[in-house]
């Protein structure tokens, strides 16, 4: 067990439609990490807040939340899946510009490198077609979307997240001055191996590409394996 002042806090950014609660069980799965999930507006305890519409706005809001919640902790790694990957990447550049914080590593999951747009989109489709396209992308559909009341509650935030992701362009073409690990499910039909390995283009330091068994949402079933990978990389 590392000394408290050298422990790494794993800061987690959610995928589209998800909240911080997705990551909270991770704290019980590996005691070598402090897990700190950041909450996006429009869900869970921030259900009444308007979701982010632009990645720059999201980055600044997430950075403020991060600094507030870190307290005295200064040594961090960032993890994000899909939408969370590009948010984590933008946040990583913001963290590197903050001299009081130490960014140990960026972990990006289920995502092509930042400059690669998705060839197919869900933004603007009617509700049923939109949800079908999102489920097709993910290879996964949350059971809450089968409940009409929950679907009505979730859909606006999910639409905003998907639009945020699909309109994203990187804020910089400068390499990230931190090690980067890109993780992909071996059977991910949304993000190919070349796309995921393309994160090497933005890594200004060490780069690692790893696959874990599963599809695009492999982390819903393979969290212990993913956390072992993260701890080993750190």
Write down the mean pLDDT value for the chain: 88
Model pTM? 0.90
What pLDDT was estimated at residue 138? 65
Contact at 8 Å (CB) between 211 and 186? Answer: yes
What pLDDT was estimated at residue 1? 45
47: Cβ–Cβ under 8 A, 6 or more apart, which residues?
153
Cα dihedral across residues 159, 165, 169, 171: positive or negative: positive
% of the chain at pLDDT higher than 90: 56
| Chain segment 103-152, per-residue pLDDT in tens | 999 999 999 999 887 767 778 778 788 788 877 776 556 666 677 777 77
Higher-confidence position of 211 and 158: 211
Higher-confidence position of 137 and 27: 27
Backbone angles phi, psi at 97, to 5 degrees: -85, -5
Contact at 8 Å (CB) between 223 and 214? Answer: no
For the residues 218-226, what does the mean pLDDT come to? Answer: 93
Contact at 8 Å (CB) between 217 and 186? Answer: no
Give the count of alpha carbons within 13 A of 38, CB side only. 31
The helix/strand/coil state of 106 is: strand
CA trace torsion 182, 185, 191, 193 (10° rounding):
70
| Chain segment 69-93, per-residue pLDDT in tens | 998 888 999 999 999 999 999 999 9
Which of 44-48, 74-78, 230-234 shows the lowest mean pLDDT across its residues?
44-48
What pLDDT was estimated at residue 112? 93
Tokens representing 38?
A: 């950041």
Considering only CA atoms, which of 234, 218, 224 is closest in space to residue 111?
218
| Chain segment 155-196, per-residue pLDDT in tens | 888 888 888 888 899 999 899 999 999 999 999 988 999 999
The helix/strand/coil state of 35 is: strand
Report the alpha-carbon distance of residue 216 to residue 111 in Å, rounded.
Answer: 9
Q: How many CB atoms lie within 10 A of CB 132?
A: 14
**Would the pLDDT of 3 be above 60?**
no
Which residue, chain included where needed, has tokens 């948010």? 87
C-alpha distances (whole Å) from 67 to each of 38, 62, 72, 131, 208 are 11, 9, 9, 35, 27
């Amino acid at each position: 067990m590392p000394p408290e002042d050298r422990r790494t806090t794993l800061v987690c950014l959610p995928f589209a439609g998800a909240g911080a609660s997705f990551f909270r069980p991770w704290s019980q799965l590996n005691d070598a990490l402090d897990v700190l999930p950041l909450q996006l507006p429009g869900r869970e305890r921030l259900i009444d807040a308007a979701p982010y519409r632009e990645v720059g706005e999201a980055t600044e809001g997430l950075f403020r939340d991060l600094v507030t919640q870190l307290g005295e902790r200064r040594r961090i790694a960032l993890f994000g899946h899909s939408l969370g990957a590009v948010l984590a990447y933008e946040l990583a550049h913001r963290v590197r510009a903050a001299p009081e914080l130490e960014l140990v590593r960026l972990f990006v999951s289920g995502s092509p490198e930042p400059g690669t747009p998705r060839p197919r989109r869900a933004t603007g489709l009617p509700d049923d077609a939109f949800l079908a396209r999102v489920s097709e992308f993910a290879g996964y559909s949350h059971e809450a979307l089968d409940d009409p009341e929950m679907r009505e509650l979730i859909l606006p935030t999910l639409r905003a997240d998907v639009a945020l992701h699909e309109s994203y362009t990187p804020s910089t073409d400068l390499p990230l001055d931190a090690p980067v690990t890109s993780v992909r499910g071996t059977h991910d039909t949304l993000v190919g191996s070349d796309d995921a390995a393309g994160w090497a283009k933005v890594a200004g330091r060490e780069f690692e590409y790893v696959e874990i068994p599963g599809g695009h949402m492999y982390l819903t079933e393979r969290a212990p394996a993913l956390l072992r990978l993260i701890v080993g990389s750190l």
